[in-house]
Chain A
Amino acid sequence: MKKIVTRMGDGYLTELTEAELRRDLEEGTRDASEKGKIPPLSEDELKHLFDIFSDPSRFVSVEPGNEVILSFDGGTHKIYRLGVNTGRIHNFQLMERAVGADTMETGHLDYCFKAAKILLFEEQQELEQALLVTMLPIFYGAMPNLGVYSQPDGPFPNPAELLPKGKIKEARASQEEAVEMAVKDFVYVATALYEVGADGINFDTTGAAGDPDFLAALRATRILKEKHPEMCIELGMAGEFVIGMHGELEFDGVRLAGLYPHEQMKLAEKAGATIFGPAINSVTTKSGAWNVARAVTFVKPCVERGKLPVHANIGMGVGGTPVAEYPPADAVSRASKAMVEITRLDGL
């Protein structure tokens, strides 16, 4: 029986029979469909995925004409995080000239607004210079990262310590205070970077600390767009499901806890975001085929039902790619092609 060499969600190699591959694709789309209450992939779409995964080539790609725009969360970090001794301006030029990046991004190495606020002058200084020597559009990106507003890193009592003690009211109050402070930081930092020339602001990994994290990013987006209507804001998510760390927070009357990508996108649209980035987490114990089928099923309604350009998060461990420090190109190229050709989205 013919075996198809493929990978698990943790990146390790595995082999599947054709029947096993079909089963994984069907189960992946069913999982997303049931959880998100969205349509599963059609027979034709599953067949297309089967063809992508059964292709024995090391690398696959979209057909000419189907190319999409790439935006890069933490783009310039990717070189010096390897330990390669370059600065951010060098990295902009490398990504522009050597990697074929359509857009690029910079941010504080700690990659959150609170950290960027402390070194804001230096962030402005470097961005302003980078803009002089590059041609591609540049985002300034950071995570909302509401976790850094609670003790010991921040001023507010830690909800993760309060909740196990049953202090739900106190945990919620702490998160509400953190949201207020975070929104001020996000607006302050984003405005400062926009005022030295950033083409866009990227709220990356939004919702990583649950519903208060998502709320803070939505509120900041609305304030920024009222202040600077021409500012491009990309709102990228942390996962397919907004975790209810608070549980009762709402934006424009919609409860945030438990929202799936197509519902998150509607709020991003209402807040005034320019680009929405759904993120679907990979499951390490399932195959790459299962993860990709599940991810594209979640992303498809965002493209079909929304007005915003959609750039799906498809970095390590999201969008059907494996959770592996050095993501293998065979797996990433399959996730890339599948996401583009099944969902017909606008970027990655």
Chain B
Amino acid sequence: MGFGDPLGMAITHSIASGMGGVRTAGDLVGRMQMTRGMKLKEAKEYVANKLRVSVKELSDPVTMAEVRGDLDIGRVRSIPKFSKGIDAKFRIAELLGIKINCVDLFKQRVGREI
């Protein structure tokens, strides 16, 4: 989407038709479009299969808060001692079986194999 104040544009789309980002599984489905060029249906099915939830549950913040917590892949709130930021992305890359560019670069910087 493009120009417009956050309430009028970004928040409106987010509520009207967005998946919900890290509140749900929006970031994960987005990654499958970006890394594998998957169309939406295929990307949702792929992520649902990896998370062992139904496609409908992917957009449900209550179910997904639990699933994300159990898998420790980052949530809306930064919970002490749980993954967030780059460490959550390490786990997301492993869970989805994809390469995440900044995760690979991080590994290189600390002298670990990709």
- Which residues of A are found within 8 Å of B2, using beta-carbon distances? 73-74, 204-205, 279, 313-318
Q: In the complex, which of the residues A135, A198, A204 contacts B89, with contact meaning CB atoms closer than 8 Å?
A: A135
B6 closest partner in A (C-beta): A78
Interface size on A, residues (CB 8 A): 74
Q: Is B33 in contact with A347, judged by CB distance below 8 angstroms?
A: yes
- CB atoms of B6 and A137 under 8 A apart: no
Of the four ranges (under 10, 10 to 19, 20 to 34, 35 or more), the interface on chain B belongs to 35 or more
User: Quick check: is B97 within 8 A (CB to CB) of the other chain?
Assistant: no
B26 contacts A69, C-beta separation under 8 Å: yes
Which A residues touch B95, using CB under 8 A?
Answer: none
Whole-angstrom CA separation of A62 from B19 in the bound complex: 11
Interface assignment of A337: CB less than 8 Å from any CB of chain B: yes
Say whether A197 contacts B3, CB under 8 Å.
no
Q: Which residues of A contact B3 (CB under 8 A)?
A: 73-74, 315-317
**Contact of A79 with B by CB under 8 A:** yes
Given contacts A61-B16, A73-B1, A135-B84, contact A103 B10 (CB under 8 A): no
Of the candidates A61, A73, A204, A275, the one whose C-beta lies within 8 Å of that of B17 is A61
Residues of B within 8 A of A321 (CB): 4, 9
Interface stretch (choices A92-100, A216-224, A283-291): A92-100
Let me know if B86 and A131 touch, CB within 8 A.
yes
Interface residues of chain A: helix, strand, loop or mixed (majority):
loop
> Does B81 reach chain A (CB closer than 8 Å)?
no
If A68-B40, A199-B101, A315-B4 touch, whether A336 touches B13 (CB-CB below 8 Å) is: yes
Distance to closest chain B CB from A282 (angstroms): 12
Main secondary structure of the interface of B (DSSP, over half): helix
**Least Cβ–Cβ distance between A224 and chain B, in angstroms:** 13
Q: Is A235 an interface residue (CB 8 A)?
A: no
Contacts A136-B21, A199-B100: A332 and B40 contacting too (C-beta < 8 A)? no
Q: Is A60 an interface residue (CB 8 A)?
A: yes
Name the residue of chain A whose CB is nearest to the CB of B73. A135
Chain A: CB-nearest residue to B23: A100
Instruction: List CB contacts (< 8 Å) of B1-45 with chain A.
Output: 1-24, 26-27, 29-31, 33-35, 37-40, 43
B102 to chain A, nearest CB (A): 3
Measured CB to CB, the nearest residue on chain B to A132 is B86
Tell me the smallest distance from the CB of A247 to a CB of chain B, in Å.
27
Taking the complex as formed, is A256 at the interface, i.e. its CB lies under 8 A from any CB of chain B? no
Q: Is B76 an interface residue (CB 8 A)?
A: yes
Tell me, rounded to whole Å, the shortest Cβ–Cβ distance linking A193 to chain B: 10
Shortest Cβ distance from residue B50 to the other chain A in the assembled complex, whole angstroms: 16
Residues of A at the B interface (CB closer than 8 Å) are: 59-62, 64-75, 78-79, 82, 95-97, 99-103, 128, 131-137, 194, 196-200, 204-205, 230, 232, 274-275, 279, 307-309, 313-319, 321, 325-329, 332-333, 336-337, 339-340, 345-348
Q: Can you list 16 A-B contacts (CB < 8 A)?
A: A62-B17, A70-B1, A79-B6, A99-B11, A100-B20, A102-B18, A132-B85, A137-B34, A197-B101, A197-B106, A313-B2, A314-B1, A314-B13, A327-B12, A346-B33, A346-B40
